[in-house]
Every structure is written in C-alpha cells, then in structure tokens.
Amino acid sequence: MALAVPASAQTLQLNDREYYEADGVNVLVFSNQYDGMFYDEKNAGIEIIHHGIRTATNGGVRLQNTPEQWDLIPDVVSRTVDPETGAIDVTLRYEDYGFEADVHAVPEGDGLRLSVDLDEPVPAALVGKAGFNLEFLPSAYFRKTYLVDGVPNVFPRHPSGPSRVAPLADKVPQYNGQTTFDDRGLGQFIVPEPIAEGRTLVLAPEDPAHRVVIRSEDADLLLFDGRLLAQNGWYVVRSLLPEGRTGRVLEWTVTPNATPGWTREPVVQFSQVGYTPGQEKVAIVELDANDAPLATATLHRITADGEHVEAFAGPATEWGAFTRYRYLTFDFSSVTEPGVYAIRYGDQTTTPFVIKPDVYADAWHPTMDVFFPVQMDHMAVNEGYRLWHGVPYLDDALQAPPNIEHFDGYEMGPTTDTEYEALERIPGLDVGGWFDAGDFDIQTERHNEVVRTMTTLWERFEVDRDQTFIDQETRYVDIHRPDGQPDLLQQIEHGTLNLVAQIENIGHPTRGIIVPNLHQYHHLGDASTETDNLPYNPDLAPYETDGVSSGTPDDRWAFTGRSRSREFSTVSALAAAARVLSDFNPDLARRAMASAQKLLDDNAGEAPEADGPARWFGARGELAAALQMYRTTGDEAYAERFEALLWPAMENTPGRWSPIGIALEAVPHLGDDYKARLRPHVEAYREQLAEIADENPYGVPISTGGWAGNSQIVDFAITNFHAHEHYPDLVGREDVLNGLHYVLGRHPYSNVSFVSAVGTVSKEVAYGINRADFGFIAGGVVPGVLMFEPDFFENKEDWPFFWGENEYVLDVSASYVYLVHAANELLAE
C-alpha cells in the first residue's frame, strides 16, 4: 500500500523473535554479530529495517568516526533479552584495550532508548576515539534532507569533506596492524570531520518511509560521511564517550517513523528470461505476513500495439509461511503460445518476459562473452571503445613470509614449504588465471573448480562459440571479436597456464596470490594500476625505479602453504584440462599432466586420520582427482581408488554433505554395476529433495549463513540434472529447472535476475571490479539473497558493496553456464 505520513505514533514492541517491531519498522539489536574473518561487513549490531528495507546498521561502540572494513570490531561477550521489560542488553569488549561497554536498549514512547554503561572509565588510549555509532545507508538517503537542531541541509550525493590529517601514531591499529592507505612517507592519516553536529537529528523529514529522529540528552550527535575514506562507507551518526566517567555515560532516543497499517507490497517472482512453451511455469507471490491474499492472478499477453490482453486467469494458491513472509503460487503452465507476457496480481503488473521455444539458448552468452574475459588476469582486456583494464601484475610474485595472518582468509604457517626465502621473487607466475570475483587476487581452489566445470562443458555439450579474441603472446583480449578459436578452450587454456606455472615454479599449488597491503587490496579501478608492474628490488628506495625494477614493495605475494586436499583438487583440474587441451595446445596438455603426476607422487599414501565426517568430507579432492585421472589415462587403478574412497564417504557423510554430486558425475564412466550400486543413495537423495520442497516454496536449499547461496543452488541443480539423466524415475526435470528459475528471478525479496544483463530486470549494480561506478559486468552471477537472523532476506539493488550478496563469483558463473546448457538439453526432449 502507499505510504502516508502517520496519523499517530506506533510503539515498538519486542516480539518472540527477539527484535523490536511496529508497523513498517523493525529494530534488531545484535541479532547479527560481527564477522571474525571479514571483520566489519556492515551486517551487525543495532540495525533498522525501515518499511521493508534495511537502512541502518553497525549500532554499537566503535573506535573510529567512520570505521572501515578492517578496523577493530568488538567481541560480543553476552546478549540477554528480558521479555517482560522488553530490554535487550549486550556487553561488548575490545580485548586489545581491556575495554568493556554495556549497550542497553528498551522501548520508550514511540522510539527506542539506547544507552551505554561503563564499569570502568574509557581507557586513556581510547579517549576521544571510543564512541557510540549508528550507520545509515547512503543510497537510502540520496536526494534527501536532514535537520540538525532545526537547521536544514541535504545529504551529500558525493563526499566532499571536511577532513583533517593526524599523525599515524594516533591511529587506532587495525586488526593486524595494517594501514588502509599509502602515506607516501608522510606519516599521516585522514580523519573525517563532522558535516553537522547538534543534539537532535532528523533524517529525511520529508519522507515518511525513511524519517528517523535521533535525540541525545548529554552529548553532541556528530554526523559524518564515511565515503571520505572509502567508497563503501556509510553516513555515520556518532557521539563520543566521555572521559573519566562510569555508570550510564550516554543516552540516545532513536525513533524510526512507523506508518500505521503499513504492509509491504507483494513481490511476484518469476524467471526474468521467460519460459519455453511446454515447460512448467509457476510464479511465486511473496506477501507481508499481515497482507490479505487475493484469490486469483492473471497472465496478460502484450500485443504488437502495446495492448494487454488477458491470456489466463488462475488461482493464487496458498503455499504457507517461510521466514517473515507468506507465499502463494500461480501456475500458468497451460499457456503455451509464444509471445510477450506479464503477470498481474492485484494492482501490480510485472515487467514483461517471453515464452518461446529457445528462450534459454543465449542466456549464457554474456557470461562467456564478457564476464570471463573481463576477469582474465595478466591480460589487457578491451571491449569496443572501453579498456576494462591494462596488463596487470607483470611483477608477480613474491614469496609470502611465514607466520603471518593476512586478510581475506590468507595466512602462512611456520614454513613456506618452498625453496624460496621470504619476499624472494618466484619466477614464472605472471601468466594466466582469473581475478577472484570483485577482487584482484588469484584463488587456486576456485580456479580448479572453474577449469573442471569448463572442461565438462566442452566434453558434455561441445560449446564451440567464438566471440572473443585472445592472444597470449601479446597479452591482449578483445571482446566481441572472433578469432577462429573456441572461446571455451581458450579460457581453459588461460586457467591451466596459471595452475601449471604454480607447479613448475613452486612445486605445488598455492592458497592464492594476493597483494601485501590493505591499501592495495581495496583498490578500485584498473587492475594494472594496483602495482607498478615492476619487480620489487630491495636495493632501491620506495618509489624509486631503474626502469626494469622498483623499490616499491607492492608486488603480490604467493601464499604457498601446502594442503593435501588442495593438491588433489588441482590434480583433478589439470588432468581434465590435459584431456581437453590435447589437440588445442599439446605442449600445455603435456605439462599439465606432468604437473598432475608430480602432485600425485608427492601425496602418495593415505591421508592422516581425521575425526568423524570431516575425514570423508576431506576426501572430495581425492575423489575428483581419481575420477579425472581415470578418464584421462584409462588406468583402472584410479577407478578402483575412486570407488574405495566413494562408498565409505557416501555412508559417513549423509544428508547435504554427501558426495552425491561427484558420484553421479562418474556414472557414465564406471559401468552398470556401479550405477546399480549407487541407486539406493539416489533414493535417499530423493528424500532430501522432498524435505527441501517442504522447507520453502522455491524447491532449492536456501543458505542462511553469512554468504548468500546461489553457488550451492546452482550446484544442487546440476546434481539434479545428472540424477535425472541417469535415474529419471527418481529425480524430475523440475528439480533441475527450479535452480535456474531461482537464479533468474524466482527467489525471495525481489524478482531481479542474479545474472547481470540476463533477463528483463537483472543485477545492474553489483560488486565487481567496477563497483565504485555502481556498474555491472554482463554475465556475472552474484551470490544472491542473504539471510539476516532471525528472519530477514536482503539483496541490495542500489548499493554494490555487500560482497556476501552482490560479489561476482567465478565458480558459480561457470556452473551457471553449465546449468543453462543442461536446461536447454532437458527442454529440448
């Protein structure tokens, strides 16, 4: 329903899911906590969901005016909820400073009273630094105003100050002592200054959907623009904690506007690409829990002159509740005439989609034509008038030093596991590979998955499309320019080049290759400018160069710690690539096979014992290696090894951790006896599908963790394709197509296609290498809908910087191409 200025206040109430709610308002108090790996993801603390949109986050005690991702976050020591008083109390602790603060929340009037209590005064090192913050999403307040003590202003669309500089010694250290800037020897860092300050702040007074009033009794409210330091920064409201005081040291009243009777508008979810005439066509309607469902929905055909003609009317059938919403289904499978259509539910009409026999035929083209070329490392990539990036990382790579905990999950133990000394240059790594998603690192295990998927694409579907010019000798890629060679083989070659280089020059695969400094890691722009592209020379001063090397220590580091499971995973990728590249690039195929054999020799013998299911889960890499080596060499010993590992793994990892996917992949290669022996496991898997169908209306396993689940959903659909292929009486066609529909728009929260530039409405603001421009890379697949505890789904369409929702992922993009081909084959039956 339309929003209106509220006629009366709405009191926030603590509900049985332990968050506060009123009509159109939810306030979460540490229902979600800070992430120990990625630190500040802006998904934690006190958060406001305002008229169905999460607009505020990170409420809590912080140590910076505008915290960046890697700035220190507090540990949550405890969280207690009192249902009788409606109070929520959270104790936060900064272990490095021995500093604890209690945050107290309780409804008061039409808002929420937030307070901070201290048993001990703020430590001297944190005086003037520790404060209470609440961050507001910039895109929610673009083109809106604010009032500070009655003085009006407009939220800045682009940050322009004010700021000051302070001595580096004054900066609160980040989690590992890194800095997020290149100070060029100045020994200073930037400190954003308030853009306004006062005791009463009204955000968006003109907009009832976004209006929030914050009042402070005893401390100034300081409004900052966090984008001064980082493009992913938010507007921050902050009050400093006073020096030398204990007890209740700070109180705010926060009142998000509530609209009496507000209900979220229904969301009609469907495939933005469309449907073939003969397939099942079921849309899903997502409703506010308080909305009254309509009995029917209609399908309208859009004629050549723009007229909407009703083509079908049918029941909107109640499915039930899932998280905070209720769901209806609308089945229009009986409509088979090709054309342009839209669904109408109540006063809503969806964007158009098409029905035609080859509707998915080109749904994978942008992924292979654009996304994968753009992600190619060590190459200049051009598209028409646009140079996506120059040739990057010709200075690859230095040996990462031992005993460090880096960022983004990278770390080194007590040894390098190589012949190289710390920060010694490892030759030969400046070739091949893809950027890992929205960052500029190479992650080896993800490469392995992409190479394996691409080889299967080639062998299973003979994907010989040619729309890209790729020249390894000159390191040049030109998108939309055919060069007479299959793009898929050229991409397999590109990934294999980097894997082989790692084995030949290091002796084993790396965890990955990544820049050494945080100020490089969050680089936004042309990848070729993240380093100076000159090998590091310790004999030169920083920023000094002799033309062929430089004294700037910006070269990427290779993290070379050994992993048995990673090495078997790499064997599987190399063996598959050697088979596929044998005619296309015989020399590389030979080197790939030699590298695979070296790793097998290095890892001969049984794996160390592990407890419980972890032992069998860790065998997945060896399963993949045995299968691919058998397929490439025909040596029965590998088939025997595969089965010796598989059956215990199937028995000891039941449920969704079962290696059923690779077991099904092996069916065409291991004979009828194997297929018969696998059947009972597929029957058990069929029961899992039934459980999933009961959990949610989408028929897919939806992730509820800190990273959205499109990858597992696409893999799930591919597993179902193989199961349907070999056991069609147990697994149906819709179990495959449900995964494709989900990615293309039939999913919670919205109906946007999660594949950029695929479908009528798709992800046009995503976390790619161009995220600072609020842009997209055609064909990239994002993680999708992220679940916030206890019951809120989100996928931001106007803010690209949430990597858990919007970061393009290499492996799911390759798997998506495979799934589209699988769907095309199924629908052609």
> Do 20 and 12 touch, CB atoms closer than 8 A?
yes
Tell me the C-alpha distance between 60 and 43, whole Å: 12
* Residue-level pLDDT at 614: 57
Residue-by-residue DSSP string for 100-155: EEEEEEEEETTEEEEEEEESSPPPGGGTTT-EEEEEE-HHHHTT-EEEETTEEEE-
Residue-by-residue DSSP string for 258-279: --TT--PPPEEE--SSEE-TTS
> Do 370 and 479 touch, CB atoms closer than 8 A?
yes
* Residue-level pLDDT at 185: 60
In CATH, the number for domain 390-604 is 1.50.10.10
Chunked in runs of 10, what are the mean pLDDT values of the chain (829 residues)? 40 95 97 85 96 97 94 95 97 96 96 98 97 98 98 95 86 69 69 96 98 96 95 97 98 97 97 97 97 97 96 98 97 98 97 97 98 98 98 97 92 96 97 94 96 98 97 98 98 98 98 93 93 96 94 96 95 98 98 98 78 63 96 98 94 80 97 97 95 95 86 97 98 97 98 98 96 96 95 96 94 98 94
Tell me the C-alpha distance between 680 and 658, whole Å: 13
For helices 620-633 and 586-602, give the axis angle rounded to 10 degrees: 130
Nearest to 822 by CA among 709, 739, 700: 739
The answer regarding whether domain 13-162+193-256 maps to CATH 3.30.465 reads no
* C-alpha torsion 752→758→761→766, nearest 10: 60
> Do 509 and 570 touch, CB atoms closer than 8 A?
yes
Nearest to 139 by CA among 765, 728, 821: 765
* CA 676 remoteness from chain centre: 39
> Do 269 and 279 touch, CB atoms closer than 8 A?
no
**What CATH number does domain 267-355 carry, 3.90.1150.10, 2.40.50.140, 3.20.10.10, 2.60.40.10?**
2.60.40.10
* Residue-level pLDDT at 531: 96
Strand 353-355 to 274-275 pairing: parallel
Domain boundaries, the chain: 13-162+193-256, 267-355, 390-604, 607-674, 696-829
* Residue-level pLDDT at 536: 96
User: Which tokens belong to 603?
Assistant: 């890892």
417-421, long-range: CB < 8 A, 24+ apart: 417/508, 417/560, 417/561, 417/562, 418/506, 418/507, 418/560, 419/507, 420/506, 420/560
Partnered with residue 112 across adjacent β-strands are: 107, 254
Nearest to 438 by CA among 139, 794, 202, 781: 781
* Residue-level pLDDT at 5: 34
